Amino acid sequence: MSNATQLIHSIPVDALTGAISVPIYQTSTFVQEAPGVNKGYDYARSNNPTRATLETIIAQLEKGSVGVAFGSGLAAIDAVVKLLKAGDEILAVDDIYGGAFRLFTHIYEKFGIKINYVDTTNAENVFNAITPATKLIWLETPTNPTLKVSDIEAIAKIARANSCLLCVDNTFASPALQQPLSLGADIVIHSATKYLGGHSDLIAGLVVTKEKELGEKIKFIQNASGAILAPFDSWLVIRGIETLHLRVQQHCRNAQAVAEFLETHPAVDKVYYPGLKTHLNHNIAKKQSKGFGGIVSFTLKNNTEAAATAFVTSTNYFKLAESLGGVKSLLCHPAQMTHKSIPAEKRRASGVADSLIRLSVGLEDVQDLIADIEQAFEKQQKEKQVFEPSISA
Ligand SMILES: *Cc1c(COP(=O)(O)O)cnc(C)c1O
């Protein structure tokens, strides 16, 4: 069965009524025949049929055994960290999602969990940084916003040899492109807010585990902590997943064309996209994923915040907003938005230059998107001429 067919038919028809769309069970509790005698559901924090359907679908898509749906990507990450105890260490990718950094460093360090940030693009660095206390390796691949790629299979072998769990944040790739559990990871997490939801209309998170026993632990943590996904939002994610395969293919095609265009533009300095042969780990990206995703980042020759601001306020179709993975194209300026809380020197050292711009390439016609970028550069140039009159003028 092809992936597209599997994806569409992983969404079940309702057994009770034949409804082709998954029913939304908007209920807090379930009536019992006798104490403890029920139809598999007792209270909606513990379980809900709509959420359970989403959990089964994502477990199938990620080739895992248990899926668990949370109220946000960060709640999903939080549940995985709660597998650990004081004294344990996390070895994490150095240019980690800012929210995960905030959670690890500002919340969990207080509880005695140590975090060790490492450049995971070279698996040898992971091997060298493991200590006897390391219990969890945390990867994101590709990363945000510089699209660094790490070798999941090589790092999974290192994790296994050292009895650590490997968790991969698969938000940027989505299961349509990359399935970390098949490459040896133990846990996958998603911000389903992005490609899985796909329409910029919800906040949701997912955890999938390879082994059933680990999945049961995550379910226990969720029931104990309470960060569940609501029935309607579960339904919205299911609806998004119905077109995941198709959307992601088009995101990839559009992003490749945009990245190739940017590479030839005289105002552009560097372009970051795993689908370009110039990308540092293009070969690893090619080996472990079916496509290179919809996110493209680039820096300007005029490497200033002012030049980036002029560009990001000059586009028509690319809307200025945080987040990514939706139908509409978005762009953001990390130095002033997603990465503003990171001190400038530290931010620059991690590759996020002052002029770096991140594009979430949407599903519009790619020629329109390229024309939009072209006119934004022209507008930016004109503004520059107004402020800096040439000598001949
Ligand atoms: C957005 C995002 C998150 C956090 O997810 P929320 O749904 O916003 O809580 C985690 N990881 C990555 C890579 C993200 O892009």
- For tokens 């990390």, what's the residue? 334
Q: How far is the CA of 69 from the centre of ligand 1 (A)?
A: 14
Q: How far is the CA of 328 from the centre of ligand 1 (A)?
A: 18
Q: What is the DSSP string of 314-364?
A: T-SSSEE-S---SSS-EEE-TTTTTTTTS-HHHHHHTT--TT-EEEE--SS
Determine how many CB atoms are found less than 10 A away from the CB of residue 281.
19
Q: Is the CB of 191 under 6 A from ligand 1?
A: yes
The helix (run of H) or strand (run of E) holding residue 92 is strand 89-93
Give 306-356 pLDDT, tens digit per residue: 999 999 999 999 999 999 999 999 999 999 998 887 789 988 988 899 999
Q: Is the CB of 279 under 6 A from ligand 1?
A: no
Q: Is the CB of 203 under 6 A from ligand 1?
A: yes
What number is the average pLDDT over the span 89-99? 93
Give 38-83 pLDDT, tens digit per residue: 999 999 999 999 999 999 999 999 999 999 999 999 999 999 999 9
Give 212-257 pLDDT, tens digit per residue: 999 999 999 999 999 999 999 999 999 999 999 999 999 999 999 9
20 burial type by CB count under 10 A (0-12 exposed, 13-18 middle, 19+ buried):
exposed
The Cα 204–Cα 167 span in angstroms is: 18
Of all atoms in ligand 1, which is nearest to the CA of residue 192?
7
Q: Is the CB of 74 under 6 A from ligand 1?
A: yes
Q: How far is the CA of 74 from the centre of ligand 1 (A)?
A: 6
Q: How far is the CA of 337 from the centre of ligand 1 (A)?
A: 15
Q: Is the CB of 145 under 6 A from ligand 1?
A: no
At residue 69, the 3 state secondary structure works out as strand
Q: Is the CB of 193 under 6 A from ligand 1?
A: yes
Would you call 169 a catalytic residue per the annotation? yes
Residue 393: pLDDT band with limits 50, 70, 90 = very low
For the chain, what are the domain ranges?
3-242, 246-387
Query: What is the fold of 3-242?
Result: Aspartate Aminotransferase; domain 2 (3.40.640)
Nearest to 293 by CA among 392, 125, 174, 376: 174
Q: Which pair of tokens denotes residue 250?
A: 């088009």
Would you call 269 a catalytic residue per the annotation? no
Q: How far is the CA of 386 from the centre of ligand 1 (A)?
A: 40
CATH of region 246-387, choose from 3.40.50.10890, 3.40.309.10, 3.30.70.1140, 3.90.1150.10: 3.90.1150.10
DSSP 106: I
Q: Is the CB of 78 under 6 A from ligand 1?
A: no
Would you call 108 a catalytic residue per the annotation? no
